[in-house]
Structure 1
Amino acid sequence: MRHRCIPLALFLLSLLPPQMLPAANKETVPAQWSVRGAVQYALNHNPDAKAAVERIKAADADIKAAKASFYPQLGVSAEYSRTNNPMYSFGNILNQGVFTDTIDFNNPGTTDNLQTKATLQYRLYNGGHDLAALDAADERGRAAGNEQAAIRSRLEFEVVRAFCTIVQATETVRARQSALEAIDASVAVARARFSEGSLLKEDLLNLEVQQSRTQEQLIQARHGLNLAQRGFLHLLGLTGESVQLNMAASPDQEIPVERDIRTRPELTGMAAMIKAGEAMVRQARAGFYPTADAIGSYQVDKGTELEGGSGNSWATGVRLNYTLFNGQQTSAATERAEAQLRVAKEQQRKMELAFNLEMEQAALTLNQEEERLKVTGKMVESATESARLARLRFKEGVLLSSELINTENRLTDARLSHALATSSRKIAIADLRRAVGLAQFNQEK
């Protein structure tokens, strides 16, 4: 009974509109993003990461193609022909085994032939050409794997930086909002004092101008937050306008102690490309050596013009080929492969110099941001207390509006500098980890 219900259920599901059907194999987008979750999602959905996977598949296909040279080549063919050419007709007569003494050699007549043939060929030696091609394909496959690792490393860093940028933009909005609330309160006090006659109209206007300027800065901060959120979604391979972050899951990365660029996947990939270049040099030089093949065939001939015409034959042997002169084509191919190998070695040296500089710059930037974070923290404490005292003095009428505006501006600037230093330090740690070839987060044990 249950087996009869299954087709009925499938039929009823087919009647439902597509939007009501359950989604299959679709990864759920979280309501709030943690930095670790965002990194993993980007690695699975970013177009660059997916393209790197496809390049690895293409490299694997190249390896399979190179391995094909080590297997024998087997082929079959079939051909039907009809002719009155004396040479071809006489050949058909012999192949079909119907030769008689009465045949006129000059005019054997019209014959036809259905020929089926199986051939087998195996390359015994070609100067190491096929082995070198396989070595080159293997090394290019390793290079493709390291290219993927390099893309993943860069993508991890970009996601962490985008996450920190959103956090920084959010803090900027909060600082601007706090500044606006403070200036609103000061404007309310100023209007009350102006009504009492204890404040000049000019001072009130100055505060109102500052209020409008603060509102403009808040609008710009919100725009910056929107841009940061959209850039973050772009890295994840998504579209949208807003992002909810889990601030408690902000990046908490370890500062690398051992700093060695030799773990960079780009350098490992370049080393593989150099080995591939060396194999390509051997492949080009194989043109100076002879080739040897073992060959074999089995052939069946059948005709209809001559009664009982049919026959079969086989052949085996070894074939040796050696090119005496090809216009220096092999020499040119060897020189080209050697030149490309030298280019790859120079590129490797250039990458080592560039990555050393990246590591040094990242380390210096981290030191700077750590010192800057300490200074800005003290700035916020001092500016907060100064602003509190200034508001009290302004309320009591012993402080000018211009002095109050300057104090509020210093507090806002201090908060923005501290938020920027906090975010920049986390980005600097992420950049240093990338520069030394480490993943953004240590594997959880």
Structure 2
Amino acid sequence: MAIRPKKILAPLAVLLLSACNVGPNFLSPTPRAPDAWSKAALDAPAYARSRAAARAVDAAWWESFHDPTLTWLVTSAEADNPDIEEATSRIAETREQRRVAYAGFWPTLDASASDTRLRISENSPFASIAGGRASVGGQPNASQGIAIPTGPKPGLTIYQAGFDAAWELDIFGRTRRGVEAAEADIRSAERLLDNARLSLRAEAARAYLELRGLQARQGIARQSLRLQRDNAALTRSRAASGFATEVDVANANALVASTEATLPQLDAQVTQATNRLSRLLGQEPGTLADRLSAPAPQPPAPPSVAIGLPVETIRRRPDVAAAEAALAAQTARIGVATAQLYPSLRINGSIGLQSGNTANLFEAASRFFSIGPALIVPIFEGGRLRAQIRLEEARQRTAAVVWRRTVLDALHEVENALAAYYGDQGRRDALRRQSVAARQAASLARTRFTAGLGTFLEVLDAERTRLAAELAVAESAAAVSTDLVAVYKALGGGWEPRGG
């Protein structure tokens, strides 16, 4: 009987038109964020200046330090960094996974060839086909007027070659949900790459600024050491003339030794900071030593930065976007699991050549074909399908918790970075005033000691205070700069503020 295409296509069209995606649809969650940053985290005047004066912060936020070496390091860090390479490979994986998911929309086509030897039961009604004995109702079929063949036991060989095709119609959206999950995985991987880049840039900037701060402290210690050695020589000369005591000489020598002891530690820290930069650039230790060995001024940080509102920060943060995309992917996987509960409709077809011997296998009479729909309805799976749905729902709840935690961590990170940034600015300014006063006191103490109006103990105390104050200023200036890097990282990188 001929198969009329309309008899197959009509019901298929009805099913396709009624196709739907089972499972929940993803809705972007609304983060719980305050209307403004807390007063405890902000210096109000600085915040006002940042909103009024900083009209835009370019995505290349590191350029706000106006340091060519810093710009070179940050822009070069991505070239051969293993973390960036890993994140990039993750994107390639998710894109291939999307191609795998998309393949479910297409039919499959397989070529096959077989040489099958069959042995048929001698009591089978089909035994006569294979040259054996056939019976009807347990009696030999000779009573039916059929000749009983004699010969070997019933058997035959079938030679077959052809093509098998199958196409599963995505009526309940299992494939569409799989593609939806794969595309969300791509978005998540891309945002994780953005986050890796942001972290790498911030880490490179932080390491460089710390290096310049250590080199500044090195310079202060060496300059102080030269001055202290001069003071020690002067003290020995005055002791020889009877204007100073051996106690003064011992104290002067002790101060020199104390300052000398700080230099090896600073040298080691400079080497470690340089090697940390080499590691971030994917290079061997010591590669950047020649380029960064010459001291340079500490890049000054701007006094204010445009920060925007908490909800704007949440939208900019790549880690929050990655967590949201992961939640979307997991929501789609619930639909994939749910679709397994519903019937599946497949169109199966075969075409090829079939014969009992190879001599006439390629004749026109050996052709065969078959085509028709197959409806598969799951009835009993031992609870596996519903357990899979519950598993995906549990994973979705976990992904939602991860997203909420990421949002909360982002808000706290910004608050803490801002508090440190503005707080260290105030500390740096106070230390600068202290350093100016300490230098004046040390100069007066030396003058009085040289004129014989003061004791060396006054010089010793004044020098110790001056050195500590200058080292603290250098350390504080580096802290302010690294705090600004932390602010930019917490804000999700550079951005252009909206409104005034």
Provide the TM-score with structure 2 as the length reference. Answer: 0.75
Residue of structure 1 in register with 2:432 after alignment? 377
Residue of structure 2 in register with 1:293 after alignment? 346
Indicate how the Cα distance of structure 1 residues 441 and 219 shifts in structure 2: closer, same or farther if over 3 A, else same: farther
Q: CA contact under 8 A between 2:130 and 2:155: conserved in structure 1?
A: no
Q: Deviations over 1:62-112 (max 9, x none)?
A: 10110010111010011123456478997799xxxxxxx989499686644
1:391-430 equivalence runs, <5 A: 391-430=446-485
Residue of structure 2 in register with 1:121 after alignment? 166
Q: Deviations over 1:24-83 (max 9, x none)?
A: xxxxxxxx9711111121122211111000000001111011001011101001112345
Q: CA contact under 8 A between 2:348 and 2:371: conserved in structure 1?
A: yes
Residue of structure 2 in register with 1:144 after alignment? 189
Q: 2:406 aligns with which of 339, 348, 351?
A: 351
Q: Give, in whole Å, the separation in 2 of the partners of 1:230 and 1:441.
A: 34
Q: CA contact under 8 A between 1:394 and 1:404: conserved in structure 2?
A: yes
- Residue 396 of structure 1, CA deviation: 2.2
RMSD: 2.8
Residue of structure 2 in register with 1:59 after alignment? 94
Residue of structure 2 in register with 1:78 after alignment? 113
Q: Point out where structure 2 has 5 or more consecutive residues left out of the alignment.
A: 1-66, 132-145
Indicate how the Cα distance of structure 1 residues 69 and 171 shifts in structure 2: closer, same or farther if over 3 A, else same: same
Query: Which stretch shifts more, 51-60 or 193-202?
Result: 193-202
Q: Give, in whole Å, the separation in 1 of the partners of 2:464 and 2:81.
A: 41
The yes-or-no answer on 1:230 pairing with 2:275 is: yes
Could you tell me which amino acid in structure 2 is paired with residue 256 of structure 1?
A
The yes-or-no answer on 1:204 pairing with 2:272 is: no
Q: Deviations over 1:257-302 (max 9, x none)?
A: 3143311111111111111111111111112210001111112124
Residue of structure 1 in register with 2:204 after alignment? 159
Residue of structure 2 in register with 1:255 after alignment? 305
Q: Point out where structure 1 has 5 or more consecutive residues left out of the alignment.
A: 1-31, 94-100
- Give the secondary structure class of the aligned counterpart of 1:77: strand
Indicate how the Cα distance of structure 1 residues 285 and 273 shifts in structure 2: closer, same or farther if over 3 A, else same: same
Residue of structure 2 in register with 1:268 after alignment? 321
Q: CA contact under 8 A between 1:168 and 1:423: conserved in structure 2?
A: yes
- Give the secondary structure class of the aligned counterpart of 1:34: helix
Q: CA contact under 8 A between 2:211 and 2:270: conserved in structure 1?
A: yes
Q: Give, in whole Å, the separation in 2 of the partners of 1:210 and 1:267.
A: 53
The yes-or-no answer on 1:284 pairing with 2:333 is: no
Provide the TM-score with structure 1 as the length reference. Answer: 0.84
- Residue 441 of structure 1, CA deviation: 11
Q: Give, in whole Å, the separation in 2 of the partners of 1:217 and 1:327.
A: 72
Q: Give, in whole Å, the separation in 1 of the partners of 2:270 and 2:189.
A: 37
Indicate how the Cα distance of structure 1 residues 163 and 243 shifts in structure 2: closer, same or farther if over 3 A, else same: farther
Q: 2:83 aligns with which of 28, 45, 48?
A: 48
Q: Give, in whole Å, the separation in 1 of the partners of 2:130 and 2:448.
A: 120
Q: 1:361 aligns with which of 416, 421, 424?
A: 416
- Give the secondary structure class of the aligned counterpart of 1:44: coil
Q: 1:327 aligns with which of 382, 392, 408?
A: 382
- Give the secondary structure class of the aligned counterpart of 1:437: coil
Indicate how the Cα distance of structure 1 residues 103 and 130 shifts in structure 2: closer, same or farther if over 3 A, else same: farther
Q: CA contact under 8 A between 2:159 and 2:358: conserved in structure 1?
A: no
Indicate how the Cα distance of structure 1 residues 340 and 304 shifts in structure 2: closer, same or farther if over 3 A, else same: closer
Q: Give, in whole Å, the separation in 2 of the partners of 1:308 and 1:333.
A: 48
Q: Deviations over 1:186-241 (max 9, x none)?
A: 01101111221221111111111111111111222112111111112111111233
- Give the secondary structure class of the aligned counterpart of 1:316: strand
Q: Give, in whole Å, the separation in 1 of the partners of 2:129 and 2:306.
A: 81
The yes-or-no answer on 1:244 pairing with 2:308 is: no
Q: CA contact under 8 A between 1:90 and 1:105: conserved in structure 2?
A: no
- Residue 402 of structure 1, CA deviation: 2.2
**Which structure has the highest helix share of the two?**
1
- Residue 169 of structure 1, CA deviation: 0.5
What number of residue pairs does the alignment pair up?
Answer: 404
Q: CA contact under 8 A between 1:55 and 1:144: conserved in structure 2?
A: yes
Q: Give, in whole Å, the separation in 1 of the partners of 2:203 and 2:155.
A: 78
- Residue 399 of structure 1, CA deviation: 2.5
